[in-house]
Structure 1
């Protein structure tokens, strides 16, 4: 077996591989050289410099695994790797402690005014009374997002004597209680936290999650820290909140634009900033190298790596049989997680018709869980650890099979139950992925693009009022599908539109007479 290490990694990772493989270290290799040489290698390890593009992957003849010695895999063409059956792995656990410690460092720097006191002393001043701080003991920490990093932060904060509040729509009160935190809604967390820290991914739902309204809910002397992703906090609103003493202070390791040149935030004394270094420690880099080296070793020795981001290795015949349903399951899961409301408690998957007899449908189930959980967590979820993560979050998973497919050769049915209700979707992939039923309503929708799904009373004029409302906001309807059971009863309409639909437009549609509900889905 032969491994190429294309970026600089810790020496301990290299030594881990030398007993099972011929290791070639070339940390200056160019894209053109890599395309030429990759055909000779069974594995490649990269960090962020090297781009494993489609061209590289297509040139690979023996490649079994692409390993990213870190968390993000933006430099790897995941789709191309999956299509070719090449595993992509990373080292998500390598940075959990490192980022948690940096978070606590920013908190301590803020509450004890360490950075500005340091600057003052270095300027020859001795302003003791100016830098009065506060203790963490007895204070309340609010954590937005209880993944690996959020959990590690909670452990450290409890050691400081803090009470912990958590806002995470996908963590139940019972799951929170098991680790000694209290799960609450966002408004309660904002109003009752002395310090707040963010550990969620940047998604359409979390972009500007903390803006003017949220700052006004916070305590006047509260602090906020973000070591997750830039854009979750509205920086313009944060500047106003800090400048006008609406909140006490902020600590940022990430920004909407990096580096944050000319940002007015950099002119303030009540903010501490670092250059996106929360994951940058020697230990994290060492651990990342060792973790991915061991993942490569497992593949070479016939074991299953645990941090696979795309899919397990399947034999060609099985992969060919289930491939259309893997794509369909991703679309159905993404649709459901965007359309469902509340904290998820159950995910029920049913394989109908010929699909019930397919080999390895467990891979499809894991794909559904992976897509569902990846939409709501910061750390990557893969098909190997998805069931465990779901269980740890109190989500019940059931899988069943049914011989009848109601007029189709095969169907997948996914039902999500939450504390606010239930939603189900069914799909078929005989020719191409299609959504064929939403709850009890039969439809025929290609799961792609921007969609508005509305439930309404099926009477004359209802469809027209919804279309008119979209037209008022310059949103063009490309396709429409209606599912109903009987006139004058509830029906469902799926509109594929040409533009993104703002949240306030969806709210206006919900407010229309005879409209029961509306949601926006981007696939």
Structure 2
């Protein structure tokens, strides 16, 4: 087998078995960073959990690496930016832990509401303090969920069994989804003020860092609980300690901490907080599923199939993929056309999606395809769908996307404009009758199948010019297969596209450009 996969952390055996039919699998669950730096160049993929750190140094030491797989959800131990720059996919298994983390969340809520943890400790110490552990029912209480992704949705489902009313905060939840789940969407401040139990299920980002701090604790009900099984750092732990120690809120359940383990945390002193050691995702079922999911994602990549859990490139659901797939061929041809007609360094690329295509989600995949076709011929580093936008940004190329409902009479249309040091190029294309076509070049109407070799000439629209260009081509035994002419006005400037049967040498193009009233000429090979 020509593919090799390094298993750098312990994963479920079923995940390892999934890979054995397609790759050589090398388990090394205790590999050190120093050893990893030496051997990573030999592997096409690496699977990690949380122990192994896939740093920039490791990534830059790799030669063949195509995939970094995290058998879990978070990728804190992977330098995603460095991987993206090298065109390496970073994949994870977000669905593997949804139920497991949701169940742990409910476990913390129950432990808080019925004081299970401290009651257990009391009994084990030989005491029988029934009066000390008066709890509360969850029935009729309001659950506030921050973040309605896979885990948040699973928590909502389970809270219904306890008779809880649910309010949620998530800027991206649709009305349809909210209705199906039976939740009320509110703003963050309302959720904080009205929740009896508040649970967090969002990633740690600059926007969510210390999302819950002193001002938020001051808004909460005095008898409220807060639970965090997402990421440490979303809650300001110093402010949480103050709120708990002064009975500003009733209690807290944490599975994650800003610093792990939280050795010097003042929270360890309190008995109205339940703490677990980042184990919300730690069930045998979740670890099994995570291993199988990332193994299958790696197999897809090795077979040339797009994986679904890539976090550093857009992922398309099957319906969207089928809708935009016909435009892949058009995008490829437009990209090749653009780079062969550009003069000098590329400065800007603007892509506009028109008509029905403007309503499709995730156009970014098509824009990345254009960048891939434009940049690969001019760069030594490989450019792919993962790193295309990063490479363009690093090269100082401004990339913009736009939408337009008017498609000039077509069902859908893609317009690409490119500015380089010495010229501007614009191309508009459609996909019709199962084939791509170019219908506009630099503002001139044409109808061209982008295939083979094409000679594009710009000239003054007057009698004899087309003939002189055709004669010059004939002098060099180049046969014309098809011809298209576009002009804006009679006697103005016109564009002629000739489809020819062979490559047009550069010296022939120079001779054409010297013809009287010929303003420019370029050949493209598609």
Q: TM-score range by the shorter chain?
A: 0.5 to 0.7
Give yes or no for contact 2:67–2:298 (8 Å, CA) kept in 1.
yes
CA deviation string 1:458-486 (max 9, x = no partner) = xxxxxxxxxxxxxxxxxxxxxxxxxxxxx
Is the partner of 1:296 in helix, strand or coil?
A: helix
Q: 1:270 aligns with which of 265, 269, 272?
A: 272
2 CA distance for matches of 1:81 and 1:318? Answer: 28
TM-score (norm 2): 0.60
Structure 1 unaligned segments of length 5 or more: list them. Answer: 330-344, 369-398, 412-523
Q: Which residue of 2 aligns with 1:139?
A: 141
1:151 pairs, out of 153, 177, 202, with 153
Q: Do the aligned residues in 2 keep the contact of 1:117 with 1:131 (CA within 8 Å)?
A: yes
1:386 corresponding residue in structure 2:
none
How far, CA to CA, are the matches of 2:253 and 2:334 in structure 1? 47
> For structure 1, which segment, 149-158 or 56-65, has the greater mean C-alpha deviation from structure 2 after superposition?
56-65
Q: RMSD over aligned Cα, in angstroms?
A: 4.1
Alpha-carbon spacing, 1:84–1:154, altered in 2? closer, same or farther (3 Å): same
Structure 2 gap segments, 5+ residues each: 316-327, 340-344, 351-358, 376-383, 390-411, 427-526
1:96 aligns with 2:98: yes
> Cα 1:352–1:402, aligned 2, differ >3 Å: closer, same or farther?
farther
- 3-state SS of paired residue (1:289): helix
Which residue in the other structure is 2:281 paired with? 279
Cα deviation digits, residues 162-205 of structure 1 (max 9, x gap) = 11100112224443122211101122212221111011122232
Q: Is the 8 A contact 1:349 1:365 kept in 2?
A: no
Measured in 2, the distance between the counterparts of 1:251 and 1:351 equals 40
Partner residue of 2:71?
69
Q: Distance in 2 between matches of 1:175 and 1:312?
A: 22
Mapping for residues 218-233 of structure 1, pairs under 5 Å: 218-233=220-235
| 2:306 corresponds to | 304
Q: Distance in 1 between matches of 2:196 and 2:49?
A: 37
> Where does 1:50-61 land on structure 2 (aligned, <5 Å)?
50-61=52-63
Q: 8 Å contact 1:250–1:271 — kept in the other structure?
A: yes
Partner SS for 1:238: helix
Structure 2 SS opposite 1:250? strand
Which residue of the partner structure matches residue 177 of structure 1? 179
Query: Hey, what's the Cα distance between the residues in 2 that align with 1:406 and 1:59?
Result: 36
Whether contact under 8 Å (2:144, 2:168) holds in the other structure is: yes
Give a deviation string over 1:433-468, Cα, whole Å, max 9, x none: xxxxxxxxxxxxxxxxxxxxxxxxxxxxxxxxxxxx
CA contact (8 A) 1:41 1:63 kept: yes
Quick one: distance in 2 between partners of 1:23 and 1:351? 31
How far apart in 2 are the matches of 1:199 and 1:269? Answer: 24
The answer to whether the aligner puts 1:401 opposite 2:414 as a matched pair is yes
Distance 1:278 1:90 in 2: 17
**Post-superposition offset of 1:143:** 0.3
Indicate the residue corresponding to 1:206 in structure 2: 208
2:14–2:292 Cα contact (<8 Å) kept? yes
- How many equivalent pairs are there? 363
**TM-score normalised to structure 1 length:** 0.61
Q: 1 CA distance for matches of 2:298 and 2:362?
A: 34
